Amino acid sequence: MNLLRTGLLLAALTALFGTVGLLAGGEAGMILALLFAGLGNLFAWWNSDRLVLAWHRARPVTPESHPGLHRLVAELAARAGIPTPRVYLIESPQPNAFATGRDPRHAAVAVTTGLLELLDREELAGVIAHELAHIRHRDTLTMTVAATLAGAVSALANLFFWFGGILGGERRDHPLGLVGTLLLLFLAPLAATLIQLAISRTREFAADAAGAEICGQPLWLARALEKIEAHARAAPLPTAELHPETAPLFIVNPLAGEGGIAALFRTHPPTGERIRRLRELARRMRLAPPRPLPTHHAPARPRRFGSVPPTRRG
């Protein structure tokens, strides 16, 4: 159902893109819109991962510098049945993470330093498993295409505003005229953004469930989401504010405001609902309630993940 819904939303976004071109510029405008979309998606297909990582100033980390993190990603990738993605670190106190890449063989997982300091190994495993689920489902490509189309609709509306509305508003053959183009300028990007965010929200629930299956413990991710939600708002992520189109890629919304009118543009489902579903999944899997962590997993103050000993295997 989620896959079908995502496909329908992408189709709606593509139809909106073509409609903008048709209404603003007639047949010629529609051809320009389709050409614009094709070039944008081709560029996004090959360069999305490098662009997103560069925007957030993510740096690659090695198994030597972060052995625990690399080992955890490799173990979970094997469970997910995908190649081990590249691992990146973002210097930011905000606890967050995202995955990117056009397919499982060209994927990367990025985590913030704040995430490593906040979570214990089990909770971090839940977050990494969630991101690997996005990679396995190829959500990273879907979200990149959605972000590209949504951004292109806004750019196209602006293009027709300047060259079709203001410059061509007095022409009799202009399909919309100045007033219509002004409406297009505001309504088309709004509709595109809402469709993009709807795609993101449908994929998060599926990634939560698949991530729980990969790591085997839904409550690990539920605990992680509780901690991340409690701390993320207090620590802004400046690179996300500069590139808000990448917000749907993160495990929780990295942007500052979510109250009031901003709730309409929520990039993720409510965290409380995600936690509720994970707990229900845990009950269905007949898992025991969460146990207190061993002493070495519950330091008096947060420590970086690399300093936390790995969980013992029974």
Domain presence at residue 180: yes
Domain presence at residue 271: yes
Q: Is-contact 242 175, C-beta < 8 A?
A: no
Domain presence at residue 169: yes
| pLDDT tens digits for range 197-227 | 666 667 899 999 999 999 999 999 999 999 9
| pLDDT tens digits for range 245-257 | 788 889 998 986 5
Tokens of residue 143, six digits: 């979200």
Separation of alpha carbons 195 and 190, rounded Å: 9
Domain span at residue 209 reads 2-287
Compare 27 and 175 and report the one with higher pLDDT. 27
Spatial neighbors of 183 by CB under 8 A, at least 6 apart, are: 176
Domain presence at residue 305: no
Which residues have a catalytic role annotated?
Answer: 131
| pLDDT tens digits for range 109-132 | 999 999 999 999 999 999 999 999
Q: Is-contact 254 232, C-beta < 8 A?
A: yes
Separation of alpha carbons 298 and 289, rounded Å: 18
Taking alpha carbons only, the member of 53, 50, 84, 91 closest to residue 70 is: 84
Tokens of residue 139, six digits: 């959500």
Taking alpha carbons only, the member of 139, 133, 144 closest to residue 82 is: 133
Mean per-residue pLDDT over the chain, rounded: 76
Taking alpha carbons only, the member of 28, 34, 235 closest to residue 152 is: 34
Domain presence at residue 66: yes
Domain presence at residue 309: no
Beta strand 86-90 with 107-112 is parallel
In the sheet that holds 97-101, the strands lie side by side as 59-60, 86-90, 107-112, 97-101
Query: For the whole model, what pTM was predicted?
Result: 0.73
Domain presence at residue 276: yes
Task: Say yes or no to pLDDT of 93 above 90.
Answer: yes
Q: Into how many domains does the chain fold?
A: 1
What pLDDT does 185 receive?
A: 60
